[in-house]
Amino acid sequence: MKNHGDKSIELIAFGKALRKLRKENQLTQDELSLYSRIDRSYISELENGEKAPSLHTILSLSKALHIKASLLIEKFEMELED
Q: pLDDT-based confidence at 4, cuts 50/70/90?
A: low
In single-letter form, the type of residue at position 6 comes to D
C-beta separation of 59 from 69 below 8 A: yes
pLDDT recorded at residue 7: 74
Q: DSSP character for 36? A: H
pTM reported for the whole predicted model: 0.90
pLDDT recorded at residue 82: 83
Query: What is the SS3 assignment for 25?
Result: coil
The per-residue pLDDT for range 8-50, each reduced to its tens digit, is 999 999 999 999 999 999 999 999 999 999 999 999 999 999 9
Go through the domains of the chain in sequence order and give each one's CATH number.
3-77 (1.10.260.40)
The per-residue pLDDT for range 56-77, each reduced to its tens digit, is 999 999 999 999 999 999 999 9
